[in-house]
Structure formats: C-alpha cells, structure tokens
Amino acid sequence: MQLVSSISLKLGAVNARNLEKHSPLLRKHNRVKTIHASLQIEGNTLTEEQITALIENKRVIGPQKDIREVMNAVGVYKDLPQFRSTDEHSFLKAHKILMERLAAKPGKYRVSGVGIVKGLQVTHLAPPADKSARSYERPVSIS
C-alpha cells in the first residue's frame, strides 16, 4: 500500500510539472477558442488563426470592425483578474473595454433598443433598455 501511495505521489508530481510547462499554451489556446466562439455568434468573420496572429501582434487582413472586436476581447482577458463578478463598476469597466470604438457609449447602460440584423431581417431583439440590470434592484430584507 505504501508503494502504491509513493508511486501515485510521484506520478502526480510528474503530471504537475508537465501541466506547468504546457498550461500557458493551453490557456492561450482556450482564450483564442473562447474569443472566436463568442465573437462568431455576433457575426465576426475572423478565424482562430487570425485571432492567434492578432494576439501575437501580427498583421491581419480583415474587416476593421472584426479586428477591433478581437483586440477589445483580448484587452478584457488581460484585465480579467481585476474584475469582480458581483461588482457593477467592474461590469461597466469590462463593457467599456469590450465595446471601445464599437459602441456610442461604451461602459454605460444603453437607453434604447438594440437587435441583431442579418441582411434585411432582425434575427434577435434584445430586451428593452428599461429592463436592464439597473432596473432590477435587489429586494430589501425587512426584519
């Protein structure tokens, strides 16, 4: 039993060392895949290879809007550790980085309706602006 335990510990140490060597590459790969999938939903046409090139500060040929979306997403990823998921200020700061030079008022709640248009057809209509997170205050607990 002691021998099995010793072997397990040694295998765990070897695996941990291998993970440390590969995890930066794995994190980069996951970041590229996440950015690609998220932006593709919004109609971004850049490939994973183009996104990787942008992360590596290489030149990419593509629509300027698509390149800006990727660069903004990369910026949010870079600052991700400083954001707090339950903090409104963090949320708006992340939105400002993500939408810089893409939206009229990045980092602010919208005040009008928005939707996604493909061709001549509206494919998605967002909830009305007055139904934003701001309009839903947390209930006050009365003791």
How far apart are the C-alpha atoms of 12 and 22, rounded to whole Å?
15
How far apart are the C-alpha atoms of 90 and 73, rounded to whole Å?
15
135 pLDDT band, cuts 50/70/90, is low
The CATH number of the domain covering residues in 25-113? 1.10.3290.10
Predicted pLDDT of residue 29: 92
Does the structure show a pLDDT above 50 at 48? yes
Q: In the chain, what are the domain boundaries?
A: 25-113
Task: Name the DSSP class of 82.
Answer: G
Name the average pLDDT for the chain: 86
23 pLDDT band, cuts 50/70/90, is confident
Q: Where are the beta strands (DSSP E) in the chain?
A: 115-118, 121-125
Percentage of the residues of the chain whose pLDDT score is greater than 70:
85
Per-residue pLDDT of 55-113, as tens digits, reads 999 999 999 999 999 999 999 999 999 999 899 999 999 999 999 999 999 999 988 88
CA dihedral (121, 127, 132, 133) in degrees, to 10, reads -110
How far apart are the C-alpha atoms of 125 and 69, rounded to whole Å?
21
At 121, give phi and psi (nearest 5°): -115, 135
